[in-house]
Amino acid sequence: CLETFLMATSFLCTINHFHMVASVSLADDDIFNLDIVSKIHTDHDSITKASSDFGHIVEAIPNGVFHPTSPADIVALIRLSISQPKPFAVAARGQGHSARGQALAPGGIVIGMRSMGRGDHGHRVSMSPSSDQLWVDASGEQLWADVLRATLEHGLAPRVWTDYLHITVGGTLSNGGIGGQAFRHGPQIFNVHELDVVTGMGEMITCSPDKNSDLFFAALGGLGQFGVITRARIALEPAPKRVLWVRIAYTDAESFTSDQELLISKPSSASGFDYIEGQVQLNRTLTEGRRSSSFFSASELDQLAKLLLDTGSAAIYYIEGAMYYNDDTASSVNQKLERLLEELNFVPGFAFVRDVSYVEFLDRVGREEQRLRAAGVWDVPHPWLNLFVPRSRILDFDAGVFKGILRDAKPAGPVLMYPMNRDRWDGRMTTATPDGGEDVFYAVGLLRSAVAAGDLERLERENAAVLAFCDREGVGCTQYLPHHASRDGWRRHFGEKWGRLAALKRRYDPRGILSPGQGIFPAAG
């Protein structure tokens, strides 16, 4: 602590000195009149919190945590950094819900983005008064839960959601933002009209597909490398009131995936689901795992465990679907669901339906968070591994991973698996997707927690075995929320996008100060 404090103090002296010099020599530059230094916190609590993240795997101590109250503060901080002979690293931190230190800034300054939403600094989620305008302006630090609350007041809502709403607009747009609506509407980055970005040059730039488009496409999925997103204009749709939330079970991966692909091929909600995901319940998850979940009751889980034992399957798969409805469609939604289920090949009798409000449905992982917090298993290491797998290799992946490497894995958390349509992704955006031009790829999420001693090492070994399997068998997996330890790994990750990315980095963050925790480009210098 003392060392941190001394490091921080000497750093702040440097800043203070610079601040004074800058104020004198650049008296006409208003930016330096902003009180940057007083907004940098170096107390033990602030530093400790900003030294780790949701993953609890990587730690890196920053010299300070900056609490901006406006985008101009961020401009000033970045300009301050790049004005020095040796600039300091700057990392925007939304909720710090990354798993591998992506929002950390070793020896630099973490921007606590959430402080922008506090106090009286104007409306951070603003709706146009015009009723026919289907978009909202949300500041980068806003939680999706806040965007939902504000837009619902107008009967509207974003079209695509992550499974969890307590993460920030800037954080998810820097990755992609995927969820069960992405098969139809694309990821969250495909649903943005315009951004305000503070670049690594300390310039505030408004960008869109038509204006400063290279920065727009770079920042979307850009892993924080090109600028800090301070505002996003997000597409909306009329919000439904209620949802039929459905899970249907399968004992074989072939029927499960072919039904998922049938469902995502339905172009409109008139005949299909509005949301489609899926999960793999590994053998021991059902026989030894928790005895109830936010969806299944204990007796339903017993039924699924019995199905597993009776059929000798390695795993149970289930499709999760959601059908939105309103008062005017309430009388027909059950028939619509029945008709749809008749087209599918799940195990007879294994369809489970809940009728919930739209908000209850969207906030389902928030409720799960409360359960895990109450059980003391939320703030534990999360060695999550998320992959995009080409459709042509998903059954090989299933055979090698779920029926091979993880066949007898100890229960550790949910395993997601659902397909998306590639034509809903814009290749100009930075997020990497599998090569090969197939029109469907799967998101597979091993969202596991290390609760007991030795779990982390074991889960890391299993993750490494999964990645090695993909490499060895040429499955062509691409990491989502990626982590690569080497430059070569990053080059391969981005493939043909790499050259463009490097050029954009030189243009928008030439001193290499932004989001160093990603480890993509050489650190500040």
Active site residue 97: yes
Neighbouring C-beta atoms of residue 353, cutoff 10 Å: 14
**Least distance (Å) from ligand FAD to the CB of residue 340?**
23
Q: Is 181 in the site for ligand FAD (CB under 6 A)?
A: no
What's the token pair of residue 82?
Answer: 């790049």
Q: Is 363 in the site for ligand FAD (CB under 6 A)?
A: no
Q: Is 80 in the site for ligand FAD (CB under 6 A)?
A: no
Q: Assess contact for 142 and 169: CB atoms under 8 A.
A: yes
Q: Is 150 in the site for ligand FAD (CB under 6 A)?
A: no
Nearer to ligand FAD, 60 or 481 (CB): 481
Determine the 3-state secondary structure of 105 from DSSP. Answer: coil
Which of 339, 304, 316 lies closest to 251, judged by CA? 316
**Least distance (Å) from ligand FAD to the CB of residue 245?**
16
Q: Is 329 exposed, middle or buried (0-12, 13-18, 19+ CB in 10 A)?
A: middle
Cα dihedral sign for 71, 73, 79, 84?
negative
From residue 253 to residue 292, the character string flagging contacts with ligand FAD as x (rule: CB under 6 A) and all else as - is: ----------------------------------------
Which of 119, 21, 14, 135 lies closest to 73, judged by CA? 119
**Least distance (Å) from ligand FAD to the CB of residue 420?**
11
Nearer to ligand FAD, 85 or 122 (CB): 122
Which of 186, 159, 189, 156 lies closest to 172, judged by CA? 189
DSSP letter, residue 174: T
Active site residue 338: no
**Residue carrying structure tokens 């050259």:** 499
Q: Kindly tell me which residue out of 202, 224, 413, 519 binds ligand FAD, with binding defined by CB under 6 A.
A: 224
**Rg value, the chain, Cα:** 24
Nearer to ligand FAD, 346 or 384 (CB): 384
Q: Is 98 in the site for ligand FAD (CB under 6 A)?
A: yes
Nearer to ligand FAD, 251 or 431 (CB): 431
What's the token pair of residue 191?
Answer: 């649903």
Phi and psi angles of residue 250, each rounded to the nearest 5 degrees, phi first: -135, 150
Q: How far apart are alpha carbons 368 and 97 in whole angstroms? A: 16
Only one of the segments 123-131, 147-155, 160-168, 238-246 lies at the binding site for ligand FAD (rule: CB under 6 A); that segment is 160-168
β-pair type (192-199, 204-207): antiparallel
Q: Is 168 in the site for ligand FAD (CB under 6 A)?
A: yes
Q: Is 515 in the site for ligand FAD (CB under 6 A)?
A: yes
Q: Kindly tell me which residue out of 177, 240, 434, 482 binds ligand FAD, with binding defined by CB under 6 A.
A: 177
Nearer to ligand FAD, 102 or 433 (CB): 102
Q: How far apart are alpha carbons 502 and 218 in whole angstroms? A: 11
From residue 456 to residue 495, the character string flagging contacts with ligand FAD as x (rule: CB under 6 A) and all else as - is: -------------------------x--------------
Contacts of 382 (CB under 8 A, 6+ apart): 54, 55, 56, 57, 99, 447, 448, 449, 450
Contacts of 491 (CB under 8 A, 6+ apart): 498
Q: Is 174 in the site for ligand FAD (CB under 6 A)?
A: yes
Active site residue 163: yes
Q: What is the largest CA-CA distance in the chain?
A: 79
Nearer to ligand FAD, 230 or 251 (CB): 230
Q: Kindly tell me which residue out of 62, 68, 94, 400 binds ligand FAD, with binding defined by CB under 6 A.
A: 94
Q: Kindly tell me which residue out of 60, 77, 91, 127 binds ligand FAD, with binding defined by CB under 6 A.
A: 91
What's the token pair of residue 11?
Answer: 């750093």
From residue 125 to residue 144, the character string flagging contacts with ligand FAD as x (rule: CB under 6 A) and all else as - is: ---------------x----
From residue 37 to residue 66, the character string flagging contacts with ligand FAD as x (rule: CB under 6 A) and all else as - is: -----------------x------------
**Least distance (Å) from ligand FAD to the CB of residue 87?**
16
How distant, in Å, are the alpha carbons of 173, 425, 451, 474 from that of 441? 20, 11, 31, 15
Apex CA 329: angle with CA 323 and CA 335, to 5°? Answer: 65
Residues forming the site for ligand FAD (CB under 6 A) = 54, 91-98, 102-103, 113, 140, 162-164, 167-168, 170-172, 174-179, 223-224, 228-229, 365, 481, 515, 517-518
Q: Which residues are catalytic?
A: 97, 163, 277
